[in-house]
Amino acid sequence: MPEGDTVHRAADRLHAALAGQTVLRSDVRVPRFATADLRGAVVDEVVARGKHLLMRVGDVTVHSHLKMEGAWHLMRRGERWRRPAFEARMVLETTAISGDPWQAVGFALGELDLVARDAEHEVVGHLGPDPLADDFDRDEALRRLMADPARPIGLALLDQRCVAGFGNDYRNELLFLRGVRPETPAGEVDVAAALDLGVRLIRANRHRDERTTTGDTRKGQRLYVAHRDGRPCRRCGTPIARGLLGDDALTERITWFCPNCQR
């Protein structure tokens, strides 16, 4: 599941290959941007902001959000795509320092927009501080998380307006490690400690291809509670429980927790 660390790694890979290169071909397979033509523009940089990826090309920013199934693949012209062509939402082909031209293909992107560079705020201006950014503002993130003491901490942590980058895995894992149930009101939680732990976890995984919160990167051993409903808690042996938490039926997300270790 793509979370902030996944998107930052994707931005790193794309930036390393494409920055400074000239666009040879662009194909945006979204109706309202289908006529966009980026040929001749230079890719200045590719950066992440939380779970959002920003590709700055000439005077345009290509904004994408992976949601649940999206991914950006980088390959050389002529290489076989690793996902079906009907899933491609954008193809960007550029020059390369050496070898065949690069192709960056965005598959199954949950969101794709082309906006003017000076209008990036329209797509990411609502986001809270990003713990993987050099300018992460801890105090502002804490203020936003604690703005509504009655709100369940599990909802506040997933709200990208509070902190940009935490997804469902990090939400559930850090609450387990803090011994807190997801539905607990934020006002009853040491929010600063929860935030600091979440920041440490996501930064520790910044350059890992396989996310882990246990410190063990072996398959099946990487997480404490997420996706482990019915299996024994790694600390006490109690079966991990599964629930739902959201402001309404449309925003409900799965929660995992240990009924014994989390109170």
Catalytic, out of 2, 129, 152, 182:
2
Amino acid at 167: G
Catalytic-labelled residue, pool 9, 49, 51, 228: 51
- CA distance to 29, 83, 238, per residue, from 202 (Å): 32, 28, 26
Q: Are 108 and 24 in contact (CB under 8 A)?
A: no
Question: Which secondary structure element, helix H or strand E, spans residue 192, and what is its range?
Answer: helix 191-204
Q: Is 51 a catalytic residue?
A: yes
Q: Which two tokens stand for residue 178?
A: 């803090």
- Give me the phi and psi of 24, to 5 degrees please: -95, -30
**34's tokens:** 């289908």
Which residues are CB-contacts of 148 (< 8 A; sequence separation ≥ 6)?
A: 156, 186
Residue 188 to residue 66: CA distance in whole angstroms: 33
Selected catalytic residue, list 3, 9, 144, 173? 3
Question: For 103, phi and psi rounded to 5 degrees?
Answer: -125, 125
Q: Any catalytic annotation for residue 219?
A: no
Contact 252, 242 (CB under 8 A): no
Q: Which of 138, 178, 234, 253 is catalytic?
A: 253
Whether residue 144 lies in the annotated active site? no
**Helix, strand or coil for residue 116?**
strand
The residues, ordered by sequence, that sit 6+ positions from 235 with a Cβ below 8 Å of its Cβ are 224, 258, 261
| Residues taking part in catalysis | 2-3, 51, 253
